[in-house]
Structure 1
Amino acid sequence: MPSHQKPDPAKVHAEQLKAVRIAINEVDEQMVGLIARRERLVRRAGSLKEDDESVRAPARVEQVISNVRGFAEKLDVDPTVVERTYRAMIDAFIEFELKVRRQP
């Protein structure tokens, strides 16, 4: 391209979006690794709990939510997004832990 021509804004935008998506994929891979670690810990915690109610542990759920909202605020991340993400993850892990507890 001759030096006097400006780059096509649509092409620049598409290239930037592609780069952002690659970075998001890298973050997702790291997050799945952390979720795997959390799953191992949940399995261990589940083996130490006496009943299903101790798995559900609403007070502990709220403690975790409070903690992650605080972490989010320190990192200048939207605490509502973090809370909603964690509530979904915690719900999934509670179901998982209950299922694991019921297996012979």
Structure 2
Amino acid sequence: MRAPNDCATMTELRAEIDRLDADLVRLLSERAAYIDRAARIKAGVDLPARIGSRVEEVVANVRGHAMTHGLPPDLVEKLWRRLIDWSIAREESHLGPDSLRDDSLRADNNDTETT
């Protein structure tokens, strides 16, 4: 692993970008495993796949992380909303058609919410 300023050529830069891309894909796969587990837990406690309050909490969190790391919060929000939509669709495929409702008011089990 080299710091960006330690890369003297485009080949070195591209190798580091490729390494980071592989890390990002691995992290997305790890996140997907947690989404799958969330779907199983939600099925057991009758929670819907989409819980609006949790979606907004996740978006607020990543916007904050973006600002901390010098990235445009709007860009990060767009990326995460797409990731969240994919995650919810993945949960819905495990939960079935009844999971399409947003039952935020009934979310007695907030500790089981995941997006």
Which structure would you say has the larger Rg? 1
* 1:1-104 paired onto structure 2 within 5 Å: 16-49=9-42, 50-51=46-47, 54-102=48-96
Q: Which has the higher helix share?
A: 1
Give the Å deviation of 1:24.
1.9
Other-structure match for 2:107: none
Percent identity, aligned pairs only, is 31
Other-structure match for 1:5: none
Cα-to-partner distance string for 1:52-100 (whole Å, 9 max, x where unaligned) = xx21111111100000000111111111111111011111111111112
User: Unaligned 5+ residue runs, structure 2?
Assistant: 1-7, 97-115
User: Unaligned 5+ residue runs, structure 1?
Assistant: 1-14
TM-score of the aligned structures, taking structure 2 as reference length: 0.67
Give the Å deviation of 1:17.
3.8
TM-score of the aligned structures, taking structure 1 as reference length: 0.74
Count of aligned pairs between the two proteins: 86
